[in-house]
Amino acid sequence: MFTVLAIVVLACGSNEESPSQKAKRAMKEKKAQVDNGKGLGEIKNVTLNDPLNQDMVQKGMAIYEMKCAACHKLKGSRVVGPSWAGLTSQRKPEWIMNMITNVEVMLDKDPIAQKLLEECLTRMPNQNVSIGDARDILEFMYQNDIDNAK
């Protein structure tokens, strides 16, 4: 009986992953998260407003003027950081919000953010923007792209 049970257990193998299998799976999951175009951070899904919420646009503009305008212009070429013109058509809203709220991790691990860092040569500082404020900034970015398209 014991021999039969041992053969069955050995034949079926173990459901547990080896440490190297776990590491490979974790790397694959991390790569998939980076490759989904949403960046790395808390923001997984963003529901966009149609039409745009003008209260959010105004709040986002105020935050932009206070925390972002010194480095990012609304149209034209980059200053320190890249211009925001056309940004909403180039990046997913989740990526934009993750870049605003999780800048250190994005610059260290997200390939798009790393490429921007290579181009701009200056790390974006952490402005300690809340998720709610980042959502207002995103709404303002969409309004900016609408205004620049006119």
pLDDT in tens, 34-69: 569 999 999 999 999 999 999 999 999 999 999 999
Per-residue tokens: 74: 């609304």
Asked if the bond preceding 125 is cis, omega within 30° of 0, the reply is: no
- CB-based contact 109:40 (threshold 8 Å): yes
pLDDT in tens, 118-131: 999 999 999 999 99
Residue 77 is predicted with a pLDDT of 84
Mean pLDDT over all residues of the chain? 88
CA distances from 87 to 19, 26, 65, 144 (A): 41, 31, 17, 9
Length of the chain: 150
3-state secondary structure the chain: CHHHHHHHHHHHCCCCCCHHHHHHHHHHHHHHHHHCCCCCCCCCCCCCCCCCCHHHHHHHHHHHHHHHCCCCCCCCCCCCCCCCCCHHHHCCHHHHHHHHHCHHHHHHHCHHHHHHHHHHCCCCCCCCCCHHHHHHHHHHHHHHHHHHHC
Residue with the bigger pLDDT between 29 and 103: it is 103
CA–CA separation, 136 vs 12, rounded Å?
54
By mean pLDDT, which of 57-66, 73-82, 137-146 is the weakest?
73-82
Domains contained in the chain, CATH given: 27-149 (1.10.760.10)
CA–CA separation, 52 vs 94, rounded Å?
17
